[in-house]
Amino acid sequence: MNTKELVGRRLRELRKKRRLTQERLAEKASVDLKYLGSIERGSENPTIGTLEKLATALSVKVSQMLEFEHQLKGEISLRRRIGQMLDKCDEQELQIILKIINAIKN
C-alpha cells in the first residue's frame, strides 16, 4: 500500500469517527467533493494546504492525519514492532534473541 492510499484510509477513518459524510466534510473544509473522494480512494495526493483544511474541519492536527502506522500490515509493520521491542532490550537480552534467531534461521 502506498502513502496516498494510507492517507486516504486515515482521512476516511477520521471522517467516519466524527460521523461526517464526504459531502459535509468537503463543505466544512471548503474542498471539492470529488477531490475529497479521490483523496480517500488514494488516487489524489493532497497538498499540505488541503491537509490543513481537512484537519481543521475534523478538529485534529495535521500530524494526526498522518498517523497510519496501525494500517500498515505484513512485513513492514512486523519489522517496526520488532525494532521497537529490540530498542528496549539490554545487551544480555539481545544476545539471547540473537541465539534464538540463529537457531530459527539455520
Tell me the pLDDT tens digit for each residue of 15-37.
999 999 999 999 999 999 999 99
Res 70: pLDDT: 65
- Closest among 34, 69, 37, 36 to 51, alpha carbons compared: 36
Grade residue 78 by pLDDT with cuts at 50, 70 and 90.
confident
89-104 tens-digit pLDDT: 999 999 999 999 999 9
Put residue 13 in one of left, alpha, beta given phi > 0 → left and psi -120 to 50 → alpha. Answer: alpha
Q: What gap in Å lies between CA 106 and CA 84, rounded to an integer?
A: 25
Grade residue 76 by pLDDT with cuts at 50, 70 and 90.
confident
Res 2: pLDDT: 84
Res 68: pLDDT: 76
